[in-house]
């Protein structure tokens, strides 16, 4: 078999050479249907062959502009040089020891980086895991152990994962929770400041939502029973909702005043995605604990809980862990990803992506009444689609836009509680021409709605 060119060597171009899906993807789809559980769905009807920088090539030779990054994971680009170099070197040394059996330096180095990069200059500790959901579960375990309390407060439109506890923390039923109950107890959901859909309008959204949330916690749960408040500073699966300014600081203050551990879930929004290392920095929030995953390791599975030393160290020895958590190859990849973020100043790149995307999308919003709102920060940008002249969600138009983009060689994702948000999560290394070409296709897709 001839050697396949590396992902990193792929031409950065959009190229559609077959129908989408092409014949080889169709063949694989039939095999998938026969061998893979139906519950494992797929957004795109094509199978990946290689990916590098800002493009993904399928098995039929089509090259897609990647505006999804495998759901905010390959922020440094697919097969980034430093990620491949460091992970490959680690693969040659050892693949696994289990950190609970024989620790290794890479694990410690990632935790040292997390202490440096996360907000706040207090003493910190970290623990590493395999997935975002696992990190959130462990943040709750740690908060319960530290406070001796049980209740966990989460928010409307929040998403925290698909394990039993994190399903309970997640707001949306379909597809995440339907038929999978019963869910973990002692989880309470309160309103979030969603400016576009706040009943009295965006102006007083922050104060009103915070007052309602605090009232519900105080009256229905009792602040002294709450171990943790868990919130995404920029809500991902809920529809890239930016809580109205002032909401997060008010909730963080309430947590501080009541001895509640404030957990920022930055699994989707972290690691340069919003133009800073973490989205909560925007309002000067210093969380007690922060959960990270996705962008941290350039595509290898790694997740972390980082936080105040006294909270993290409240758990007895052996209370945190797992066979694979902080795998050495994933740690090496994370160090490569962080090196890339620093060297290429990917925070600046994310801000540049916002500078390009937002004005273009705002212009499209003026021309197409289907766009209700353009929002997001850095390279975490979305459009919420509605029936023109109303705020009624339009999931059908959203699906049609995504389908048009896919057929034309642009990988976009949809999201949102109402399934009516097209979200853009380009790799931060994407070329500006490629990004603009992707937006041209989005514009065509909107025009095609008629």
Least Cβ distance, residue 379 to ligand PLP (angstroms): 15
Where does this chain bind ligand PLP (CB under 6 A)?
A: 71, 131-133, 136, 159-161, 232, 236-237, 265, 267-268, 293
Instruction: Using the CB atoms, write b or e for 414-440: b if 16+ within 10 Å.
Output: bbbbbbbbbbbbbbbbbbeebbeebbe
Q: Give 220 or 323: the residue with its C-beta nearer to ligand PLP.
A: 323
Q: Give 406 or 423: the residue with its C-beta nearer to ligand PLP.
A: 423
Residues 6+ apart with CB under 8 A from 258: 223, 224, 226
Least Cβ distance, residue 295 to ligand PLP (angstroms): 11
Q: Give 235 or 441: the residue with its C-beta nearer to ligand PLP.
A: 235
Strands (E), 242-283: 261-265
Q: Give 169 or 402: the residue with its C-beta nearer to ligand PLP.
A: 169
3-class SS shares of the chain: helix, strand, coil, % to 5: 40, 15, 40
Structure tokens at 71: 């759901």
Structure tokens at 261: 């551990």
Q: Give 240 or 418: the residue with its C-beta nearer to ligand PLP.
A: 240
Closest CA to 322 of 428, 209, 163: 163
Least Cβ distance, residue 75 to ligand PLP (angstroms): 13
Q: Give 273 or 349: the residue with its C-beta nearer to ligand PLP.
A: 273
Q: Give 132 or 328: the residue with its C-beta nearer to ligand PLP.
A: 132
Least Cβ distance, residue 131 to ligand PLP (angstroms): 4
The span from the CA of 265 to the CA of 255, in Å, is 15
Structure tokens at 325: 């958590």
Least Cβ distance, residue 21 to ligand PLP (angstroms): 25
Closest CA to 280 of 251, 258, 300, 257: 251
Structure tokens at 413: 């994702």
Q: Give 62 or 69: the residue with its C-beta nearer to ligand PLP.
A: 69
Least Cβ distance, residue 246 to ligand PLP (angstroms): 21
- Residue 226 near residue 149 (C-beta atoms within 8 A): yes
Using CA atoms of 208, 209, 213, 216 in order, give the dihedral in degrees to the nearest 10.
50
Closest CA to 400 of 414, 389, 387, 390: 414
Least Cβ distance, residue 416 to ligand PLP (angstroms): 13
DSSP state of 162: S
Least Cβ distance, residue 64 to ligand PLP (angstroms): 21
The span from the CA of 190 to the CA of 406, in Å, is 36
Q: Give 58 or 232: the residue with its C-beta nearer to ligand PLP.
A: 232
Closest CA to 340 of 426, 270, 272, 269: 272
The span from the CA of 396 to the CA of 384, in Å, is 12
Q: Give 59 or 402: the residue with its C-beta nearer to ligand PLP.
A: 402
- Residue 306 near residue 125 (C-beta atoms within 8 A): yes
Residue nearest to ligand PLP (CB): 132
- Residue 281 near residue 118 (C-beta atoms within 8 A): no
Least Cβ distance, residue 160 to ligand PLP (angstroms): 5
SS3 100: coil
Least Cβ distance, residue 20 to ligand PLP (angstroms): 25
């Amino acid at each position: 078999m001839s050697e396949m060119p590396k992902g990193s060597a792929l031409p950065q171009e959009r190229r559609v050479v077959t129908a989408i899906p092409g014949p080889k993807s169709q063949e694989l789809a039939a095999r998938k249907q026969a061998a893979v559980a139906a519950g494992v769905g797929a957004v795109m009807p094509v199978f990946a062959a290689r990916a590098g920088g800002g493009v993904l090539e399928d098995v039929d030779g089509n090259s897609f502009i990647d505006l999804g990054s495998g759901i905010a994971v390959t922020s440094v680009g697919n097969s980034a040089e430093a990620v491949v170099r460091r992970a490959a070197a680690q693969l040659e040394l050892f693949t696994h020891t289990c950190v609970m059996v024989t620790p290794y330096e890479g694990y410690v180095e990632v935790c040292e980086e997390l202490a440096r990069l996360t907000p706040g200059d207090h003493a910190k500790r970290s623990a590493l895991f395999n997935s975002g959901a696992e990190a959130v579960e462990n943040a709750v375990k740690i908060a319960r152990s530290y406070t001796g309390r049980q209740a966990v407060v989460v928010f409307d439109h929040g998403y925290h994962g698909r394990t039993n506890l994190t399903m309970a923390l997640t707001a949306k039923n379909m597809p995440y929770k339907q038929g999978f109950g019963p869910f973990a107890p002692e989880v309470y959901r309160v309103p979030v400041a969603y400016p576009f859909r706040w009943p009295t309008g965006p102006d007083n959204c922050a104060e009103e939502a915070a007052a309602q949330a605090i009232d519900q916690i105080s009256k229905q749960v009792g602040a002294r029973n709450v171990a943790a408040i868990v919130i995404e500073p920029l809500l991902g699966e809920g529809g890239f909702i930016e809580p109205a300014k002032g909401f997060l600081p008010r909730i963080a203050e309430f947590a501080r005043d009541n001895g509640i551990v404030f957990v920022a879930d930055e699994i989707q929004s972290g690691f340069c995605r919003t133009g800073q290392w973490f989205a909560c920095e925007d309002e000067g929030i210093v969380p007690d604990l922060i959960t990270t995953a996705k962008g941290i390791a350039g595509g290898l599975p790694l997740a972390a809980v980082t936080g105040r030393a006294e909270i993290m160290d409240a758990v007895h020895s052996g209370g945190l862990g797992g066979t694979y958590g902080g795998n050495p190859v994933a740690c090496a990849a994370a160090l490569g990803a962080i090196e890339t973020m620093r060297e290429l100043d990917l925070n600046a790149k994310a801000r540049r992506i916002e500078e390009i995307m937002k004005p273009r999308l705002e212009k499209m919003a003026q021309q197409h009444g289907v766009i209700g709102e353009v929002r997001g920060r850095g390279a975490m940008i979305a459009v919420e689609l509605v029936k023109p002249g109303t705020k009624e969600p339009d999931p059908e138009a959203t699906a049609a836009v995504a389908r048009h983009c896919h057929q034309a060689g642009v990988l976009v994702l949809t999201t949102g509680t109402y399934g009516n948000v097209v979200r853009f999560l380009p790799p931060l290394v994407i070329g500006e021409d490629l990004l603009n070409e992707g937006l041209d296709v989005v514009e065509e897709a909107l025009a095609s709605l008629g």
